Structure 1
Amino acid sequence: MSGASERRARTDAAVLIVDDEADIRELLELTLLRMGLGADAAGSLAEARALLAERNYKLCLTDMRLPDGEGLTLVKEIAQHHPELPVAVITAYGSMENAVTALKVGAFDYLSKPVSLEQLRALVKSVFDLPKRTAESRPIGATSLTGDSPTMQQVRGMIERLARSQAPVYISGESGSGKERAARLIHEHGARASKPFVAVNCGAIPENLMESEFFGYRKGAFTGADADRDGFFQAANGGTLFLDEVGDLPLPMQVKLLRAIQEKRVRRVGDTSELAVDLRIISATHRNLKDLVDQGRFRQDLFYRLNVIELRMPALRERREDIPALVEALLRRLANDAGLPTPRIEDAAMAALMRYAFPGNVRELENVLERALALHSAECITADDLHIEPREGEDGVAAVPGGGVALERESLQDYLDRVERQAINEAIAKTDGNRTAAARLLGVTFRSLRYRMDRLGMKD
C-alpha cells in the first residue's frame, strides 16, 4: 500500500499508522477497515508530522524504528503537542526495554512484532472507549488518596498517567501502604472502568489449588469438580486482574502465569482447548521482586512482563505531614460506620501519632484509631487512648502496640517474618524435630508448615 506522501489524507481516517514497512501498513489498515475504522499511513517521521498537522486522529500506531528517526521521538512530540491523542508503539520481538521507555514518556500501550491481530483489536477497542471515559472522569483528588504532601501529589499524578495506559503495572511498597487502593484507582480512571476489577491475594491460595483458581476447571476434572467453573482470568475478562503479593507465587505457577500473560489465553483444568482473555495485569508485593529474582525464587522473564511500569507507594513515615488529614478522614469514616459522633483528637494524641514510626503504615493507623474510638471515654481521644508509646532515638527505635520494639528501618512484613520464624523454630525444638507434631502445636497443617518454612528460607 502506498505511503501517505503519495496521496491526500482520508477524510474518514481515525487512526494514523506510522511504519516504514509497506506490508505492515497494509496489514494494519485492512484490520482497521474490517473494524469500521479508516486509517492514514505514513512511512517516515516527516510524513507523520505532516499528517498530524493536517488533521486530528483518535489513535496513532507507530513503529519504533523509522528511516528518518526514532518512533520514540514521535511519541514525545505527540505527548507535547497532541496530549489527547493515544499513541501505541510497535516494537521488535524481545525489545521490552524500548517499549518500557516509550510507555514512560507517554505511550498508551505497545504491540510486539509479529503483530497479533487479536491483540491489536483489543487495543483498538480499549482506545476508542478511552476518550469517553477521560471526558467523564475527574482528576484523582485527595478524597481518593488522602494527603497533600509532595509525595502523594506525585503518586496521584502517576496514577492518572497509568490510567490512560494499558501497560502492566507493578506497585511496590510496604504492607498497609495502600497498594490495592492505588490499583483500584488506576482501574476506575481507565478505559476498563466499566469492567470487573478482580483482586487476588496470591499468598493466600494453597499451591495445589492455584491452577484451578486462576484458570478455572471443567466438570469432572478432579474429585469435587461437579460443574464447570471459571477462574480469576475469566472473571476479570475485559477488566483488570490485580495480583497482590505476587512474590509469594511458587515457581511452577509462575511458569503458567507467564504463558497466560504472553499468549492472552488460558486453559481450564481438564479442558482440551484454550480460551482467549483480554485483561490488564496489575501486580503488587511488599517484597523486593528484584532480590527474589537474584535469589532464584522469582522468574526473571515474568518479572520483566509484570514490571513494565513501577508505581511506588510511600511508607507513612515518609509522609508524616499527611497524618492529620488521614486521622480526620479515618475517624470520620470509622465513627460513621459505628453510628457514633466523630470525636475530637487532642493535641497531645496527634503529636504522639506524628512521632510514631507506623511499621504497618495506613492500615496500622486505622487499627489504632478504631481501637481508640472503641475505648475512649471522654469527648476527645487522648494520647492514652492510642496505646502507642513512641520512643525514637538515634537508631530510630519506636515501641509498638502490645509491647516489643520495632526498628523503623524494618518493614512490618520483615518483623512478622522474624516472629514467625522464631515461633516455628521453637515449635520444632519442643517436638524434638518432629515437623508433623510442630505443625499440630502451631495449629497449622503439615503442608502449610512446609510452605511457610520454604517462604521464609528455612531448611528442612
Structure 2
Amino acid sequence: MNTPLNAPVLVVDDEEDLRDLIEMTLLKMGLEVDTAEGVVAAKKKLDSQSYALILTDMRMPDGSGLEVVEYLQQKNLDIPIAIITAYGNADQAVMALKAGAFDYIQKPVTLAQLRSLVKSALKVHEISTPAPVAEAPAAAAEPVLQAASTEAAASPAPIAPALPQFPRLRGDSQLLGEVKRMIAKLAKGMVPVHITGESGTGKEQAARSIHELSPRKDGPFIAVNCGAIPENLMESEFFGYKKGAFTGADSDREGFFQSANGGTIFLDEVADLPLTMQVKLLRAIQERAVRRIGESKETPVDIRIVSATHKDLGREVEEGRFRQDLYYRLNVVSITMPALRELRDDLPMLIEHLLANNPMGEDLVLSDAAKKQLLHYNYPGNFRELENILERATALAADGVIEPDDLQIHTHELIQDDEDDSESPVDVGDVSPLAHHFNMGQATLQEYLDEVERSILEQALAATKYNRTQAAKLLGISFRSMRYRLDRLEIN
C-alpha cells in the first residue's frame, strides 16, 4: 500500500516540547504534520490515516518505536519510518533498521539533521520500486560478478516478475538469485549496507548494483579505497579544503563526501581507516554534514553509504581497531560475497563471457585439457585472478588454441577429478565409521549431513540456553542464516 506524497508526516513522541519543535520545523518545510504522544495513539492514527513519513521516538512509556515499525510491517503499510533515539542506544536503533525502519538519528536532534533526514526519506518514498537498468557492457578492468549472501540466507522466495535487470551480476545459481532480490530490496532505501568477502569477489560491483537500481542512480557514485590514502591526507580527501587552509591549498577543493552529494559513496576496505579518521567519519555520517579544512561552517550532504572490507569487522571491534559506534552505523544490513571456488556451476559461462569480451580472446578456443584445469582450480584470487589468467593465456596462446601451459596454473593447486577418485582401490577391510554409515544403507549423503548439522545447532542452542542470536554468534553465522537452518531442519 503506497501513500501519497502530500500526506502529512506523523511525529510520535511522549515529550511535548520535542513534538512541538519537530512540528514547527516540518511546517516551515511546507509539510503537513500530525502528532501522537505514544505507541498506542500512533497505531490508532495509522488505522485511519495515510502518512508520507513517520518520525518516532524509540523509548516511550507505553512501548517502543520498534513496535511502530513492526506494526507497519504487519499492516503492509509502505511508509518510510525513522527512529529518534537517545545517545548510546545505537544497538536498539539498528534492530529497528533491520526490522524495516528507514534511518535513525540520535538525540539531541539538530534541525539540520532533521531536515536532511526528511528530505532523504521523502525522496526515496517518491520512487517505490527501482527502475530496470539497461544492459551495458562492463568495463574491461572490472571482473564479472557472482554473488551470494550468507547474511540473507532466508527461505528462498519466488523471483518477482518485476525483478530488475542486473547487468553486473552474471550467473544462474540460486544463491545469485537471492542476492539479486536482496539488492533490489535494499536499493529502495537509505539503510547503510556493508559488503564482506575475500579480495577479488566483486564487492564493488555489488555496491554499484545497489546504486544503479536506486532512486539515486542519476547521482554520482564515488568509490573510495580507504586503505590507499595516506593518513595525513585523509581529512582533506574526504571532506575537502578551502583555499589557503594550508601550504599548497591554492584553490577550493571538494572532498569525496561533497562529490557524492545526491548519490552514493562506497567506502572500500573501511576497516583500514585509522581510529582518528573513524571519529571524523562517524560525525559526518551522524550530522549529515561535513566541514572543509579551513572553513568555519558545516555543509549538509545527502549521501547513501555503502561500505566493504575483506576483514571481519566484528573482530576488529573486539580487538579495539574499529569503533563500535561506527560499526553500528555501517553494518546495518550485510551481504557476503562468496569465493569463486564456491560457484563452480557458473564457471563455464564466466570463462566463455570473459574470452568473448577480450579483443584478443574472441577467436580463441580452449583445449579440453586447459578447460579441465580452469574448472578444477581453486582461484585464491577469485574473479580478479580468473580474469588475469585468461588475459595471460590469450597473450601466450598460439595457433588459435589455449593450452594448459598458457594458463600457467600449477598442477598441485588443482582439485582432483572425481573420476580419479573412483579408480582408487578401496580397502573394505578397514572401513571408517562414516563409510560404514553409508555402506549399511542407513542414509543418503544429504541425510547424513543434515544429521551432523542438526547436532551442531542443537549443541549451540543448549550452550546458549536456547538464545538463537547468541547461538548464531557462537557458530559464526548470521541470525537470518541461523533461522533458515532451524526452519529447514524443523528444530523448535
For normalisation by structure 2, the TM-score amounts to: 0.70
Partners of 2:351 and 2:8 in 1: how far apart? 49
Residue 351 of structure 2 is aligned to residue 357 of structure 1? no
Evaluate the alpha carbon distance shift between residue 273 and residue 38 of structure 1 in structure 2; reply closer, same or farther with a 3 A threshold.
closer
Q: Name the residue aligned to 2:296.
A: 272
Give the superposition deviation at 1:359.
1.0
Percent identity between matched residues is 56
Q: Is the CA contact 2:393–2:406 (under 8 Å) kept in the aligned structure 1?
A: yes
1:190-216 CA distance string (max 9 Å, x none): 333222211111222222222221222
Q: Is the CA contact 1:58–1:85 (under 8 Å) kept in the aligned structure 2?
A: yes
Partners of 1:283 and 1:35 in 2: how far apart? 32
Give the superposition deviation at 1:290.
3.0
Partners of 1:64 and 1:387 in 2: how far apart? 59
Partners of 1:47 and 1:257 in 2: how far apart? 37
Query: Which residue type is aligned with residue 176 of structure 2?
Result: M
Q: Name the residue aligned to 1:115.
A: 109
Q: Is the CA contact 1:108–1:164 (under 8 Å) kept in the aligned structure 2?
A: no
Q: Name the residue aligned to 1:332.
A: 356
Partners of 1:315 and 1:17 in 2: how far apart? 45
Give the superposition deviation at 1:384.
4.4
1:278-325 CA distance string (max 9 Å, x none): 323222111223333334333333333332332222221222223233
Query: Which residue type is aligned with residue 372 of structure 1?
Result: A
Match of 1:209 among 218, 221, 233: 233
Residue 367 of structure 2 is aligned to residue 373 of structure 1? no
Q: Name the residue aligned to 1:441.
A: none
For normalisation by structure 1, the TM-score amounts to: 0.74
Partners of 1:348 and 1:82 in 2: how far apart? 55
Evaluate the alpha carbon distance shift between residue 51 and residue 344 of structure 1 in structure 2; reply closer, same or farther with a 3 A threshold.
farther
Query: Which residue type is aligned with residue 174 of structure 1?
Result: E
Evaluate the alpha carbon distance shift between residue 355 and residue 142 of structure 1 in structure 2; reply closer, same or farther with a 3 A threshold.
farther
Evaluate the alpha carbon distance shift between residue 143 and residue 218 of structure 1 in structure 2; reply closer, same or farther with a 3 A threshold.
closer
Q: Name the residue aligned to 1:38.
A: 32
Partners of 2:118 and 2:257 in 1: how far apart? 21
Match of 1:157 among 176, 181, 187: 181
Q: Is the CA contact 2:219–2:262 (under 8 Å) kept in the aligned structure 1?
A: yes
RCO higher in structure (CA 8 A, sep ≥6): 2
Residue 65 of structure 2 is aligned to residue 71 of structure 1? yes
Evaluate the alpha carbon distance shift between residue 360 and residue 31 of structure 1 in structure 2; reply closer, same or farther with a 3 A threshold.
same
Partners of 2:316 and 2:102 in 1: how far apart? 29
Q: Name the residue aligned to 1:226.
A: 250
Evaluate the alpha carbon distance shift between residue 73 and residue 380 of structure 1 in structure 2; reply closer, same or farther with a 3 A threshold.
farther
Partners of 2:90 and 2:335 in 1: how far apart? 18
Q: Name the residue aligned to 2:55.
A: 61
1:316-358 CA distance string (max 9 Å, x none): 12222232332233333334xx5x6465545554443332111
Q: Aligned pairs, how many?
A: 383
Q: Name the residue aligned to 2:14.
A: 20
Give the superposition deviation at 1:11.
12
Q: Is the CA contact 2:112–2:300 (under 8 Å) kept in the aligned structure 1?
A: no
Residue 93 of structure 1 aligns to a residue whose secondary structure is coil
Give the superposition deviation at 1:379.
5.2
Match of 1:198 among 203, 222, 230: 222
Query: Which residue type is aligned with residue 373 of structure 1?
Result: T
Q: Name the residue aligned to 2:263.
A: 239
Match of 1:52 among 38, 46, 53: 46
| Larger displacement relative to structure 2 (304-313 or 170-179) | 304-313
Query: Which residue type is aligned with residue 37 of structure 2?
Result: G
Partners of 1:45 and 1:259 in 2: how far apart? 30
Evaluate the alpha carbon distance shift between residue 258 and residue 16 of structure 1 in structure 2; reply closer, same or farther with a 3 A threshold.
closer
Q: Is the CA contact 1:59–1:85 (under 8 Å) kept in the aligned structure 2?
A: yes
Give the superposition deviation at 1:244.
1.2
Q: Is the CA contact 2:376–2:415 (under 8 Å) kept in the aligned structure 1?
A: no
Residue 334 of structure 1 aligns to a residue whose secondary structure is coil
1:166-205 CA distance string (max 9 Å, x none): 2332221111111111112222223332222111112222
Give the superposition deviation at 1:96.
0.8
Give the gaps of 5 or more residues in structure 2. 133-162, 417-492
Match of 1:125 among 107, 119, 122: 119
Q: Name the residue aligned to 1:182.
A: 206
Partners of 2:27 and 2:401 in 1: how far apart? 67
| Larger displacement relative to structure 2 (193-202 or 95-104) | 193-202
Residue 13 of structure 1 aligns to a residue whose secondary structure is coil
Query: Which residue type is aligned with residue 369 of structure 1?
Result: L
Partners of 2:5 and 2:130 in 1: how far apart? 27
Partners of 2:50 and 2:237 in 1: how far apart? 45
1:304-315 pair list within 5 angstroms: 304-315=328-339
Match of 2:194 among 166, 170, 183: 170
Partners of 1:83 and 1:116 in 2: how far apart? 28
Partners of 1:270 and 1:48 in 2: how far apart? 45
Query: Which residue type is aligned with residue 287 of structure 2?
Result: E
Evaluate the alpha carbon distance shift between residue 216 and residue 351 of structure 1 in structure 2; reply closer, same or farther with a 3 A threshold.
same
Query: Which residue type is aligned with residue 352 of structure 1?
Result: Q
Residue 89 of structure 1 aligns to a residue whose secondary structure is strand
